[in-house]
Amino acid sequence: MKLLRLALPIYVELLTAVVAVGLIDLLWVSGLGSRAVAAVTVATTTEYLALGVILAVGTGTTVLVGRRDGREPITPVIRTAWLLWAAVSLVAAVPGVLLREPLARLFTDDAVTAGLIADFSLISLAGIPVFFAQTVTDGIFKGRGDTTTPMRTALLCNALVIVLDPLLIYGLDLGVQGAAAANLIARAVALAVALTLLLRRTPRDSPARANRTDAVEIIRTGLPMSGDFLARSLVGMLLAGVVGGFGVVVLAGYGIGTKIMLAGVMAFYALRQATMIQTARSGEAGPVLRYGVVTGLVVAAVLNAVAVPLAALFTGDPVVAAEAVGFLRWMTLYLVPFGGLIALGGVLQANGRGGGLLAATLTGFAVQLPLTYLLGATLGVVGVWLAMAAGAALTLTLAARPRRSRDPASAPPKAARPLSLSLRAWRGRRGAGPSSAPGRAPRSTRTAAGRRSGR
C-alpha cells in the first residue's frame, strides 16, 4: 500500500507534466493550420528529448536524498544538485537557442514550417533552465518521500497553460510563440510555488558546501536513467521512420496508438519512481518484478478494452482507426515484459546497478532493430510489433538475472558511504584508541588481557 501511495501521485504528475502540456498546445494551435501543428509537435518533441539530459541530475538527487534523509545531512546533496543544474542548463539552453534554425531544418524541408519551429524553440529552449529546475525540485521532494507536492505543482502548471494558451496565441496574436510563452510562464509560476514550499520544508541540517564527491555520486547514479531515456527516445524515432515505410495510413494509426498507449505506460514509470524512492529510503520495495508484470497485464487489458472508442476520438477515418486498434492489440505482448522491466529498473537504480540496466536496454535494442527490419520485410508491420515485444522480453531477462555479489541486493553501493565513516573504520583497524569500533578495545589491550586471564 505504501508503494501505491507513492506511485499514484507520480502517475498523475507524469500524465499532466509529460502528456497533457503537449496535447493542450496542439489543441489550441490547431486553429492556426497544419504547419503550426507540425511545428509545435516537432518543437515539443525536441524539448522532451532535452529532459533526458537533466534526468541524470534529478534521478541521482532523488536517490541520494532518499538514502541520507533522516540519517545524514542532505543539505550538501541539495546544494550540489543545484550547481549541476546550472551547468547542465547552460550547456543545453545556449547551443539550443543559437542553433535552433539549423535544427529546425533537420526535421522539414518546408521553409515556413521550419520558421515556426525556430520561433517556438526560441522561447522554449531559452526557458530550459526553468524546466530543468522543476525536475530537480521534484527530485528533492521525491527523495524525501513526498510525491504529492510534485503532482500538485504539475496540475497547477497545466491549469495555467489551459488559460494562457488561448490568451497568448489568439488574444495577443502571438501564434506558436504564444504557446511557447504560455508554457514558460506556467512553469515559472509552478516552480516559484514549488521552491517556496521546498525552502520551508527542507531542514538546514549542515553548513557544508556542495562538494565534488556528491556531484560524482549524483551523476554516477542518475546517468544510466538518462541514457535509458535517451536510447528509448532515439529508437522510437527510428521506429517511426520504419513504420512510415508501410504508408501514411499505417503511420497515422501508429501515431494515434502510441499517444493512447503513452497514458498507460506512464503507470510503469510511476511504479519505477515509487520503487526507486522506497528502495533508496528503506532498502526494500517488495516483489517489484511481480508488481510490474501485473501492472503490464492490467494496462494491456484496459487499452484493449478502450482501443476502439479512443481511436475514434482521434480520427474519423475507419482505416486509420483500425490500424491504431490493431497496434494496441499487438502491444499486449510488449506491455507485459515492459512493465516488469520498468518497475525493476527503479530498484536497480536505487541500488547503484543502473549501469547493468542500461547495458541490458542497449542489448535489447541491438537485437530488436535488426529483427524490426527482418520481420517487417516478411510479416509486414506486424513484424515490427513482434520485434518490439521480443526486444522488451530479452531486456527484462537480462536485467532480472541474479547478480553475483557479496553485498545484499538491497544494500546501497559502497561509493555512497560517507568518507568520514571510512576513515573511522580505517583508524579502528589500526587500533587508534577512541576511533576504534564502539564497545571494542584496541587489539593490544585485548591481547594483554588474554595473557593475564591465561588465554
Instruction: Specify burial of residue 306 (Cβ count, 10 A radius: 0-12, 13-18, 19+).
Output: middle
- Distance from C-alpha of 176 to C-alpha of 168, rounded to nearest angstrom: 9
Q: Looking at residue 403, what is its pLDDT?
A: 59
Q: Which residue has the cell 557544508?
A: 208
Q: Which three cell numbers stand for residue 64?
A: 541520494
Q: Looking at residue 1, what is its pLDDT?
A: 64
- Distance from C-alpha of 113 to C-alpha of 43, rounded to nearest angstrom: 11
Q: Looking at residue 207, what is its pLDDT?
A: 66
User: pLDDT tens digits for 32-62?
Assistant: 887 787 777 777 777 777 788 888 899 999 9
User: pLDDT tens digits for 396-427?
Assistant: 999 988 755 444 444 444 444 443 333 344 34
Question: Are the CB atoms for 338 and 296 separated by under 8 Å?
Answer: yes
Instruction: Output the pTM of the full model.
Output: 0.76
Q: Looking at residue 417, what is its pLDDT?
A: 41
Instruction: State the chain's maximal CA–CA distance in angstroms.
Output: 96
Q: Which three cell numbers stand for residue 335?
A: 506491455
Nearest alpha-carbon partner for 174 in 349, 32, 308:
32
What one-letter code names the amino acid at 65?
V
- Distance from C-alpha of 157 to C-alpha of 188, rounded to nearest angstrom: 9
User: pLDDT tens digits for 260-302?
Assistant: 888 889 899 999 988 988 888 887 767 889 999 999 999 999 9
User: Which parts of the chain have pLDDT scores under 50?
Assistant: 405-455
Q: Looking at residue 336, what is its pLDDT?
A: 95
* Phi, psi dihedrals of residue 411, rounded to the nearest 5°: -75, 145
Instruction: Specify burial of residue 454 (Cβ count, 10 A radius: 0-12, 13-18, 19+).
Output: exposed
Question: Are the CB atoms for 88 and 53 separated by under 8 Å?
Answer: yes
Q: Which three cell numbers stand for residue 154?
A: 504539475
Nearest alpha-carbon partner for 49 in 94, 96, 83, 108:
96
